[in-house]
Amino acid sequence: MMRVSTNSEKIYYMQKIRSTNNLNIINFSDNCQLFIVVCYNVFSG
């Protein structure tokens, strides 16, 4: 069972996704993985 993220961690992940979106599509898979983790934590929390 995954640990639920705190609000500061959620903000950190969202900022990380936003900052990496400015880079090439090479980071697309990383963004997807982060997005899935964030969504999982938000909906399970």
Residue ranges per structural domain of the chain? 8-19+27-44
What's the pLDDT at 23?
57
How confident is the model at residue 3, as a pLDDT? 65
Segments in the chain below pLDDT 50: 1
Ramachandran class of 19: left when φ > 0, alpha when ψ lies in -120 to 50, beta otherwise: alpha
**pLDDT at residue 33 in the model:** 79
pTM attached to this predicted model:
0.34
Packing angle of the helix pair 7-20, 28-44 (nearest 10 deg):
160
pLDDT of residue 26: 52
Q: What is the pLDDT of residue 38?
A: 84
